[in-house]
């Protein structure tokens, strides 16, 4: 009984860490225009819309976060193998992983922008300096929280995988959660505030992203501010639920039927979420859409 209570406590802590990680991850990737919003940021100068938005395409979010977390975990593992205190090891590992992330971000921005020279897109050094540091700060929070939750899974819950392997698995999961949940707030909404809500992006509007802010010209910090409000927390809840429910079912039901209990509960959770998702989708369609043709004029 005591071990189950302990396990649930660790599960709750890991879920809370995952929520923080998800929120930070999505804000980081949105400031860098990573993931699917990137295609429009990349396209805009080619359509004549020169912008001051940060464009750091390292890879899709899942592979990129697979690297950052696996790297943080690998270095933390190495320091722990050298008998360094785990908390210090994780901080050092995350710090070095963030250094790598920052260097990748600068080279991605410089490379992409220099390759668009034909269309007159300049390299803005102030954008490079101010955005990279902000993405690094958010990435540190995401990497530190995720490596810590991997360490909890490994050391407190006794998961057989070593830390770097857990890092690669949960890193890809973190990137996927942020990419799937948070990006629409930026890519589908924020970039196209000048289009009618729910209209989608017609071909003619491709690349015509919003480039001017409430005051002055919009940069990616404005986008970070926007996505920290809705996209970040949504990604956080998504990744937090993934981690929490995954550990919860393992801690409580693994003993039943030699492990089959946890698998059956996992399938039940998926079914429950399918029903919830379907309900929300139908409800949203009924209330907000589908986007219909404007009503015909009575006189014509």
Which positions touch other proteins (CB under 8 A)? Answer: 48-52, 57-60, 63-64, 66-67, 70-71, 73-75, 77-79, 81-83, 96-97, 100, 103-104, 107-108, 110-126, 161-165, 167-168, 171, 211, 217
Least Å distance, CB 95 to other proteins, is 11
Which residues fall within 8 angstroms of residue 14, CB to CB, at 6 or more apart?
Answer: 149, 152, 153, 243, 244, 247
Q: How far is the CB of 236 from other proteins (least distance, A)?
A: 23
- DSSP label at residue 153: I
**Shortest Å distance, C-beta 168 to other proteins:** 5
Measured from the CB atom, the residue of 119 and 291 that comes closer to other proteins is 119
Pick the closer one to other proteins by CB: 124 or 253. Answer: 124
Which of 164/240 has CB closer to other proteins?
164
Task: Give the nearest distance from C-beta 69 to other proteins in angstroms.
Answer: 9
Q: Half-sphere exposure of 239 toward its Cβ, with a 13 Å CA cutoff?
A: 36
Nearer residue to other proteins within complex by CB, 86 or 266: 86
Q: Is residue 26 within 8 Å of residue 188, measured between CB atoms?
A: no
Angle, CA 163 vertex, CA 2 and CA 108 arms, to 5°: 135
User: Smallest distance, Å, CB 162 to other proteins?
Assistant: 4
DSSP-assigned letters across all residues of 278-297:
HHHHHHHHHHH----PPPPP
Would you state the structure tokens that stand for residue 164, as one six-digit string? Answer: 């770097």
């Amino acid at each position: 009984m005591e071990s189950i209570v302990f396990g649930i406590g660790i599960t709750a802590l890991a879920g809370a860490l995952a929520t923080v990680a998800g929120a930070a991850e999505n804000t980081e990737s949105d400031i860098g225009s990573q993931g699917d919003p990137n295609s429009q940021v990349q396209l805009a100068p080619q359509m004549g819309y020169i912008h001051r938005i940060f464009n750091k395409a390292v890879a899709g979010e899942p592979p990129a976060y697979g690297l950052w977390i696996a790297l943080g975990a690998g270095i933390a593992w190495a320091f722990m193998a050298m008998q360094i205190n785990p908390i210090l090891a994780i901080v050092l590992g995350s710090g070095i992983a963030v250094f790598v992330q920052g260097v990748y971000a600068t080279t991605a921005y410089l490379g992409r922008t220099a390759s668009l020279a034909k269309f007159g897109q300049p390299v803005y050094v102030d954008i490079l300096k101010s955005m990279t540091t902000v993405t690094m700060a958010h990435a540190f929070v995401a990497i530190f929280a995720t490596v810590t939750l991997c360490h909890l899974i490994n050391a407190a819950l006794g998961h057989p995988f070593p830390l770097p392997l857990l890092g690669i698995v949960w890193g890809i999961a973190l990137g996927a959660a942020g990419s799937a949940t948070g990006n629409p707030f930026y890519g589908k909404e924020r970039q196209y505030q000048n289009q009618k809500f729910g209209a989608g992006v017609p071909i003619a509007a491709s690349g015509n992203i919003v480039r001017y802010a409430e005051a002055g010209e919009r940069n990616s910090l404005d986008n970070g501010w926007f996505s920290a409000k809705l996209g970040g927390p949504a990604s956080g809840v998504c990744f937090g639920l993934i981690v929490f429910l995954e550990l919860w079912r393992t801690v409580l039901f693994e003993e039943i039927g030699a492990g089959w209990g946890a698998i059956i509960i996992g399938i039940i959770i998926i079914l429950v979420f399918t029903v919830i998702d379907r309900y929300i989708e139908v409800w949203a369609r009924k209330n907000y859409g589908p986007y219909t043709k404007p009503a015909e004029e009575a006189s014509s």
